[in-house]
Chain A
């Protein structure tokens, strides 16, 4: 039975080359678009590479200063909003480090540092992260030599630095360089560890240098009044929960801490605006929006995906109707010789599904090609935009790390959905057509 159907599908594909081409390419393009969205989503939110705890990592990235009593939702939020910026390191030190709910809490400042390359005798600008000892609990970096700086090192302003393999090779020609001196921002540091390169698409962990933030606070200075200087600054905070579900508990504890900060007499209050965020939420958080806008943006993306799915399905549906008109006689003959409505519908579904599957496979290949083509652009998230990229980091991103069994299943599911949407109505309509009418359609 299947063999006969497949033989017929092959014949129809060969007979209606233009139709088949449009149909298959249409499917392939929509699959490609959806795959690229899935890939972007996956790169930014899944547990991959050294960022293998993203599912229980939470982000506190913005400090919102508002008039007292401002609700963090809806349009009224804008009336009360005075300013928003990254977080001040003093706020984190004083109010967030004491948090007990998270497993780890890390202050992070992304910056560009100037490193003196003695071999080339030039200063080179490099991506750096000023952070603390808990940073190394957040990510699974692999040390090639030495180890991370400790809490004691951070508290004692020890000028220690962890560098990546590329930097070690560029500066010293080897990776076994623990205790080697290195000039960063015209100060001498000592290498305490060398890690494998971190790909730039892992934007939360990515840098070439990681140094204790206490050695770089002079660069954190910010103008404005004293209240704001403590609250706002260049930092952000990563919080690692024990469980994915710890987000709300952490938020509650943070809110409790904030109450200590917001004295009733102050004219400006600080609000978390529903932080900390999950990795996905942090992607959709813009600088000065109320938190419910995050969900509006997510809904917009979801609608775009659905439209990407439905629009081609509607076009394909039109193509199917055109082809059904040509095949009315066949449907009549099949029904005359015993095919039921369900037999006809099943056949039409199968025929279109096979074509969609071909389109799906081509779509996968296209998205693979397109992915290689736009890889660099695609992988620079707004969080690292402007920083230098680790070329090796980009190179190690392999399409087939992302295209795994579950992705293939998604593609089949999407093909099935496209098929369902595009075939259902024409198939139902034509399968129920009167036999005499169908036979007379020539």
Chain B
């Protein structure tokens, strides 16, 4: 056994994050670690990488017990970690980023040429093509991840921890990565894969360990299990099966007509003559690799960004150029794409965060009605099982998943005719995802018009009645729920033309 973690327990005060967890890894094995938010995956990996000290338990690498006081101890023992958010210097070259900390020198000078040569050899050895001289800022996300993995390999890692590695990748990049992992495993590198995308885990891992509430629920061979069994283990109950009822869409609620948004310096348009309609009783999904105009589209249809040309109507009213407040009065609710940037004020209370955008129903004559706020928000918290100390708890003390549930509760509570759901389940666990999806579908069944933007194709496919794909600010194609498959969408996302999809 290459790595053994035995009886790892981690306590934070009265909270037990890891409870006698056993975890092992063989040479050349891909071992996936799955579980809901707060199940203890990250804690366990932080302990292995020397970022946290276990309260109890021991770590054995290559037959020797080790104590990792810092990540450099773990790196010295051949353990490397690729974080979910890349830690690269965008303005430096690929080679510079990979050799950092181990720079080849010519005298006292940094030898750039040798570094590039070295990176070239390394990338050929492991079958991970990169251009050593390219600037990291110019590399697509998939390549940046390759750079991270090469950096870790260059540090001599035999065990690589990948934390949610596919979150930001396009479907093609995901496919490439999973293949690369398998190939590296054949070369003797071992992987620990943290993910909550069960299909990817099933497709690439040899073994899967499920954590729930800090405990190991089971450790199974990937070939002996399936997604349904794994989610049962993760959630601890059967997930409800739900179907989309057929609904005949009604009148158009949102229309975007030929909208163009130019870049800040007159560069190529961020949105290029985009037209779309969302009708009552339908969910329209927007797919696309992030950065292809989704954020701009969301800002346009929520009154946060001016258009250069074109027209937006909401509930029959021309709202082009109006403010976010006017959009809300015309019937908008908006689950924003980034819950901390747009969706909350972290230093303020849960109650304050819960009434934003809907002050009219929480006040009378300019005075806030504290009792109404307590009652209503209290009900949402129960309905969405938001874990919070009290309504006066500061929002920053809520976990990301709970904050997301609070935002969804806030935006769904007012029964508005139009809902923007942008990345509605980003970072939430399966249980919460189920609640949020149910809430969206229920609103659709009741005649709500919903614009869904998600980087999760499975979410788009599960919820949408129609799917539009954005590519470089244009609508690259439209698919009906019946026609859409992951392959067709991926093809359009990668810039394929709508006519060649079959």
Q: Are A and B genuine complex partners?
A: no
